[in-house]
């Protein structure tokens, strides 16, 4: 009898390339055979910056254990999970020019900017290639105001599969539900799913035919557009092959989806879909963009009337508005951990094999040079990562060093990530993974 992973791997393998990615057997073997290697990773990026004072316990100036420390109010929800937490301060992103946001550079470790296309792939995409194979290797969800999520249900600002190849995030939970679970739905959702599927199939055929008459360069660019429809249509077919399995994980469609009172209703629904995709084994990499990598965002559901760019001009420490937002994020992190704890895997649970990376696409604040870039890690992946501690670095190693560390943990023998030797001479005082992170 096939278990959950075997079932999903068989479906993924039978469909060929998934979403434009060619997952070679050696990648799958490397990811599954590495002892203690993570099987899935979650990236959670909050816009407007992550002030270190909102996560470092009062009085902690040097690296040490969190056992006897009290977590700051903004992340107090993580207090019961301190033994799984690693707070890191002192990484930098000076070379990313974050300012209002580093955009793709936050996860790419390179210079980014508003409207600037990605210059290389991002760490979440690279990890999705080497982690255990799934139907949809990489899922991105973005949280914003209701107005922005409605008018722009998909947007690409944080993740990329290569230079000039952005990965879009989903912001309308109804659209994402149809994509993931439309094949097992009933009633109006099923009708909408079937209608959308029929349209997408027709568009793929028409687009492919149109592209054949274009000149060389235009045809290649148009080919990426056509491939996007093929990827979505192929994913739908693959998900249909494991409909019985997915039925156990699909979240209930309630008024949060259909009649949201606040934007946080959609935020919560999107998180539930992301968690369900992890638990069901649909994806191995989940990227969450709160604020969608830009300078906007709204949290009226938390009683926060201010929104957008103005939030970034408010100091975060001891600010009741930012305390509410950060506490909300911390509760989301807890929800992810608790959900994965409930799913058995191997001799433990899915959370035992999961790493959560929480930071900002904006270093420490909205108007920043990126000199300090706080990060929180949750989970140890079978003892591979140090937890229950705070690490203060000297500000001489970039976020790229952390990303190289994550790739090392996933079984990839890399010394640097998206950083040439010339660039490293200016911005990286070391080489290889961060010894302070791995056990």
pLDDT band at 33 (very low <50, low <70, confident <90, very high): very low
d(CA 430, CA 415): 10
What class does CATH assign to 4-172+249-427? alpha beta
Is the confidence at residue 193, as pLDDT, over 70?
Answer: no
pLDDT band at 242 (very low <50, low <70, confident <90, very high): confident
pLDDT confidence of residue 18:
33
pLDDT band at 237 (very low <50, low <70, confident <90, very high): confident
- The stretch 18-42 carries a mean pLDDT of 50
Is the confidence at residue 194, as pLDDT, over 60?
Answer: no
d(CA 71, CA 89): 15
pLDDT band at 308 (very low <50, low <70, confident <90, very high): confident
pLDDT confidence of residue 414:
94
* 280-290 confidence digits (pLDDT tens): 999 999 999 99
d(CA 424, CA 296): 32
pLDDT band at 182 (very low <50, low <70, confident <90, very high): confident
Percent of the chain with pLDDT over 90: 71
Is the confidence at residue 430, as pLDDT, over 50?
Answer: yes
Do the bridges between strand 375-378 and strand 85-92 make them parallel or antiparallel, or are there none, so unpaired? antiparallel
pLDDT band at 26 (very low <50, low <70, confident <90, very high): very low
pLDDT confidence of residue 309:
85
What's the pTM value of the predicted model, to 2 decimals? Answer: 0.86
DSSP, collapsed to helix, strand or coil, labels residue 395 as strand
pLDDT confidence of residue 368:
93
- The stretch 156-179 carries a mean pLDDT of 94
Look over the chain and give the mean of its residue pLDDT values, rounded to a whole number. Answer: 86
* 353-409 confidence digits (pLDDT tens): 999 999 999 999 999 999 999 999 999 998 999 999 999 999 999 999 999 999 999
d(CA 252, CA 221): 39
Is the confidence at residue 161, as pLDDT, over 70?
Answer: yes
d(CA 226, CA 208): 6
Structure tokens at 75: 């992340």
| Count of C-beta atoms within a 10 Å radius of residue 379 | 26
Of 230 and 244, more confident: 244
Is the confidence at residue 338, as pLDDT, over 80?
Answer: yes
d(CA 394, CA 397): 8
Is the confidence at residue 138, as pLDDT, over 90?
Answer: yes
* 409-419 confidence digits (pLDDT tens): 999 999 999 99
- The stretch 123-136 carries a mean pLDDT of 95
Q: CA triplet 153, 156, 162: central angle to 5 degrees?
A: 150
What are the boundaries of each domain within the chain? 4-172+249-427
d(CA 302, CA 375): 24
- The stretch 88-113 carries a mean pLDDT of 96
């Amino acid at each position: 009898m096939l278990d959950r992973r075997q079932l999903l791997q068989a479906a993924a393998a039978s469909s060929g390339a998934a979403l434009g990615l060619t997952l070679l057997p050696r990648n799958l073997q490397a990811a599954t055979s590495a002892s203690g290697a993570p099987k899935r990773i979650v990236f959670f990026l909050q816009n407007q910056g992550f002030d270190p004072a909102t996560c470092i316990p009062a009085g902690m100036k040097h690296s040490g254990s969190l056992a006897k420390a009290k977590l700051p109010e903004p992340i107090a929800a993580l207090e019961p999970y301190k033994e799984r937490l690693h707070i890191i301060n002192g990484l930098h992103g000076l070379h990313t020019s974050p300012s209002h946001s580093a955009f793709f550079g936050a996860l790419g470790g390179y210079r980014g900017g508003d409207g600037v296309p990605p210059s290389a792939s991002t760490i979440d995409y690279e990890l999705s290639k080497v982690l255990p194979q799934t139907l949809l290797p990489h899922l991105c969800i973005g949280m914003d105001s209701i107005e922005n999520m409605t008018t722009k249900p998909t947007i690409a600002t944080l993740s990329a599969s290569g230079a000039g190849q952005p990965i879009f995030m989903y912001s309308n939970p109804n659209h994402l539900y149809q994509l993931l679970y439309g094949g097992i739905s009933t009633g109006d959702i099923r009708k909408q799913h079937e209608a959308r599927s029929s349209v997408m199939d027709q568009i793929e055929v028409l687009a492919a035919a149109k592209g054949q008459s274009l000149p060389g360069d235009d045809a290649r660019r148009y080919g990426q557009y056509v491939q996007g429809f093929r990827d979505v249509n192929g994913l739908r077919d693959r998900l249909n092959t494991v409909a019985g399995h997915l039925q156990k994980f699909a979240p209930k469609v309630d008024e949060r989806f259909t009649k949201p009172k606040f934007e946080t209703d959609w935020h919560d629904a999107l998180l539930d879909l992301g968690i369900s995709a992890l638990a069901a084994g649909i994806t191995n990499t989940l990227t969450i963009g709160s604020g969608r990598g830009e300078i906007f965002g709204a949290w009226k559901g938390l009683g926060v009337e201010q929104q957008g760019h103005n939030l970034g001009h408010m100091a975060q420490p001891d600010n009741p508005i930012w305390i509410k937002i950060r506490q909300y994020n911390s509760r989301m992190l807890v929800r992810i951990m608790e959900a994965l704890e409930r799913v058995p895997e191997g001799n433990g649970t899915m959370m035992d094999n999961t790493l959560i990376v929480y930071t900002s696409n904006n270093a420490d604040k909205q108007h920043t040079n990126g000199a300090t870039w706080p990060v929180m890690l949750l989970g140890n992946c079978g003892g591979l990562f140090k937890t229950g501690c705070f690490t203060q670095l000297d500000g001489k190693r970039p976020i790229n060093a952390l990303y190289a560390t994550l790739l090392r943990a996933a079984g990839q023998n890399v010394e640097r990530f998206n950083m040439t030797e010339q660039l490293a001479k200016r911005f990286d005082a070391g080489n290889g993974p961060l010894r302070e992170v791995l056990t």
